[in-house]
């Protein structure tokens, strides 16, 4: 049985919420580990989470934890990813 559009949208919104919470947590955890000199979460993982839908969580994590705010690929890349995802979302769902 195929899902209707409403159900797909609900699942999509849940996915976006969860991936953003996870991404925010990863940015906070990486900052904590950086302060303690422990093993770090890779930059590829942090950017990858933004690419798969966690861009708002990444940007929020950068601001809240003051993390990755001096790396150009983060200060330009994460907002660019977020802007592109918003454009895609709006063009697909409105």
**Tokens at residue 89, please?**
């979302």
What's the confidence (pLDDT) of residue 49? 98
Rounded percentage of the chain residues whose pLDDT exceeds 90: 84
Q: Answer whether residue 75 shows pLDDT above 80.
A: yes
pLDDT in tens, 14-57: 999 999 999 999 999 999 999 999 999 999 999 999 999 999 99
Q: Which two tokens stand for residue 39?
A: 């093993």
The pLDDT of residue 18: 98
Per-residue model confidence (pLDDT) at position 1:
58
């Amino acid at each position: 049985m195929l899902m209707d559009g409403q159900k797909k949208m609900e699942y999509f919104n849940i996915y976006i919420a969860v991936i953003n919470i996870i991404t925010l947590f990863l940015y906070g955890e990486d900052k904590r580990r950086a302060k303690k000199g422990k093993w770090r979460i890779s930059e590829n993982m942090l950017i990858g989470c933004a690419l798969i839908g966690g861009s708002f969580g990444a940007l929020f994590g950068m601001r809240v934890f003051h993390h990755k705010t001096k790396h150009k690929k983060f200060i330009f890349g994460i907002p660019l990813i977020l802007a592109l995802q918003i454009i895609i979302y709006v063009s697909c769902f409105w």
